[in-house]
Every structure is written in C-alpha cells, then in structure tokens.
Amino acid sequence: TLYRLRAAPFADMAEARALCAALRSRGEDCLLVEPN
C-alpha cells in the first residue's frame, strides 16, 4: 500500500529538509519537490 502526503508551505528548503529528516528517522521515505 502506498500513502502520499503533500505538505506546504515551508519557510525555506531547510525547513522542508528538517521534516524529511524527521520522517526518515522514523523509517519513512521522503521526496522533496520544488513547486513550479
């Protein structure tokens, strides 16, 4: 089963990376995509 979460806005890329790091520390995958 695949679950998708899209979250925004972040103040900057560093804040988004921090969330990814927290998710990864829990064994989750994370992919950052810049809005276009």
pLDDT band at 2 (very low <50, low <70, confident <90, very high): confident
pLDDT tens-digit readout, 3-17: 888 888 899 999 999
- Using an 8 Å Cβ cutoff, are 23 and 16 in contact? no
* Residue ranges covered by each domain of the chain: 1-35
- Which amino acid type is present at position 28? E
Between CA 27 and CA 10 the distance in angstroms is 22
Mean pLDDT of 13-32: 95
How confident is the model at residue 30, as a pLDDT? Answer: 93
pTM of the model: 0.75
Cβ neighbours of residue 35 closer than 8 Å, sequence gap 6 or more: 8
Inform me whether the pLDDT recorded for 33 exceeds 80.
Answer: yes
- Using an 8 Å Cβ cutoff, are 2 and 28 in contact? no
